[in-house]
Structure 1
Amino acid sequence: MTLALFDLDNTLLGGDSDHAWGEFLSRHGHVDAEAYRLANDRFYAQYKAGTLDIREFSEFVFAVLARNDRATLEAWREDFLAECIEPLLLPAAVELLERHRAQGHTLVIITATNRFVTERIAARYGVEHLIATEPEQDADGRYTGRLAGTACFQDGKITRLREWMTGNGESLDGAWFYSDSRNDLPLLEAVDNPVAVDPDPVLEDIARARGWPVVSLRG
């Protein structure tokens, strides 16, 4: 079955859920607000510049998960979804997903943002398959603060996707991939149908030079 792959942040969402989660934690006093916001902004700037150390960033984000019990985290996440994510949902993204669903394609959200933040967003969009950066959990299901396996970022997206395809009997034949980010060039180059969505300047230049479609889901 043909894969339709979608980046999440600034592609299906009108913003970045990873950065928004840090802003939410700071705003509500769940972390040291000033220090956390400064670090969160620094990592986000590195992401946009294509220079992010994903392991360092993951450990920064996962430290909050490790310090709190699951019930507390899930309560925060519900508030986060209502306050921060609902306004970022894009009607045009829903329509795009539906067009691929109607063609019988297998829909997959593939994102560098961790599963704890993104699994409920994927469910909100009605997408069953999610490939995300994985925070490690211990035998009791508590987060350890460490990264599990390969981060789903840059070349790591291809690694994680190939692992998923092997387990699900899928292939990249005829696959689509929608993304806004230069960080996703490895996967965009690996599919038959790459699409730049509201792209950053670097990706837009590359997409136009290569004749890839450039689309907007924001208006």
Structure 2
Amino acid sequence: MVDADTRSGDGAEADVRERDPAVVAGEASAAAAVAAGDSGPADVPQTDLTAAAFFDVDNTMMIGASIFHFARGLAARKFFTTADLAGFAWQQLKFRIGGRETTYSTTTGRDTALSFVAGRPVAEITELGEEIYDELMADRIWAGTRALAQMHLDAGQRVWLVTATPVELALIIARRLGLTGALGTVAENVDGHYTGRLVGEILHGPAKAHAVRALAVAEGLDLRRCTAYSDSVNDVPMLSAVGTAVAVNPDSELRDVAKDRGWQIRDFRTGRRAARIGVPSVLGAGALAGAVAAGLAARRR
């Protein structure tokens, strides 16, 4: 999250508008991740400080879309109507069938994402995120992907989530999984209350790559020694930014890219147990938020 009061007036805001929104989003996300600090377990030593792993969340670490599960929880708490949730469900169905975000949803999301929390306290949304994770997300983690993350932690490397989901929710997921932290979409706030605007844009596509690069600079990482995991062809920029790319539960386009580039492929949708997957080889080698926002836009229209 970003406190708008920290900006230096209209000149600073104009400068932000003139810059590439994807770069702004990436830098803001990295700054939020650094400010949040290390949320991983204290008893896991970090001995390999220049290598790290970056995991997409939706359909990579978690079955389905985290922001949709969050929306379900908010709907149960009367934040919006059943009709709104039906719109989210339609976007979620298309995501689950197609395995990727749509251009319409991500474009629409730049203007409408998080508008439903405008005026709400950041602390309130964070507290609700904790409750909703326990209710609707905890049992949706892919065991195989979680095992991959743990292998990096056991090797003394840091592990971050990288997701279009709001950074507050992403940090909750990371903390509950015992990971280092998270890069997510940053929502502007003033005096601890959301304005309904994003800093830059949704952390999607190229913005994820910018966030990873910015975090690498801040944390002293050697991206050639880092690994990234995703299910979506939209994350090719992030996957291409590191030394080792792994396609997890890939959509058809990412599977083709992975085959062409010689990237590793891990698919946990077949029911194979993680223990039977060659996870050690990964270590040896070194946004759907917009879709939900498109559904939420109905509430404001």
State the TM-score, normalized to the length of structure 2.
0.65
2:131 matched to 1:79? yes
* 2:158–2:180 CA contact under 8 A, matched in 1: no
2:237 matched to 1:186? yes
Q: 1:10 aligns with which of 59, 80, 83?
A: 59
Distance 1:118 1:92 in 2: 19
2:143 matched to 1:94? no
Higher relative contact order (Cα pairs below 8 Å, separated by 6+ residues): 2
Q: 1:29 aligns with which of 56, 75, 78?
A: 78
Matching residue's letter, 1:206: V
Q: 1:169 aligns with which of 200, 203, 220?
A: 220
Q: CA deviation at 1:58?
A: 5.2
* Cα deviation 1:150-195 (Å, max 9, x = unaligned): 5321011111222222222223122211100111011112222110
Partner of 1:200: 251
Matching residue's letter, 1:113: T
3-state DSSP of counterpart to 1:104: coil
Matching residue's letter, 2:108: E
* 2:249–2:266 CA contact under 8 A, matched in 1: yes
Q: How many residues align?
A: 218
Larger Rg: 2
Matching residue's letter, 1:60: T
Partner of 1:213: 264
Distance 2:127 2:223 in 1: 38
Change over 3 Å in CA distance of 1:44–1:169 after alignment to 2: farther
Q: 1:134 aligns with which of 169, 182, 186?
A: 186
* 2:228–2:246 CA contact under 8 A, matched in 1: yes
Q: 1:146 aligns with which of 197, 210, 216?
A: 197
Q: CA RMSD in A?
A: 2.4
Alignment of 1:37-52 (within 5 A): 37-38=86-87, 41-42=90-91, 45=94, 48-52=100-104
Partner of 1:105: 157
* 1:112–1:151 CA contact under 8 A, matched in 2: yes
Structure 1: state its 5+ residue gaps.
none
Distance 1:164 1:151 in 2: 17
* Cα deviation 1:122-157 (Å, max 9, x = unaligned): 10111122111101111x211110101353210111
3-state DSSP of counterpart to 2:58: helix
3-state DSSP of counterpart to 2:237: helix
* 2:228–2:245 CA contact under 8 A, matched in 1: yes
Distance 1:75 1:173 in 2: 37
Q: CA deviation at 1:76?
A: 2.9
Matching residue's letter, 2:210: T
Distance 1:60 1:150 in 2: 10
| % identical aligned pairs | 28
Q: CA deviation at 1:36?
A: 4.6
Deviates more, 1:24-33 or 1:191-200: 24-33
Structure 2: state its 5+ residue gaps.
1-49, 272-301
Change over 3 Å in CA distance of 1:142–1:209 after alignment to 2: same
Distance 1:126 1:58 in 2: 30
State the TM-score, normalized to the length of structure 1.
0.87
Q: CA deviation at 1:24?
A: 3.0
* Cα deviation 1:97-136 (Å, max 9, x = unaligned): 1211122222111111111222111101111221111011
* 1:180–1:203 CA contact under 8 A, matched in 2: yes
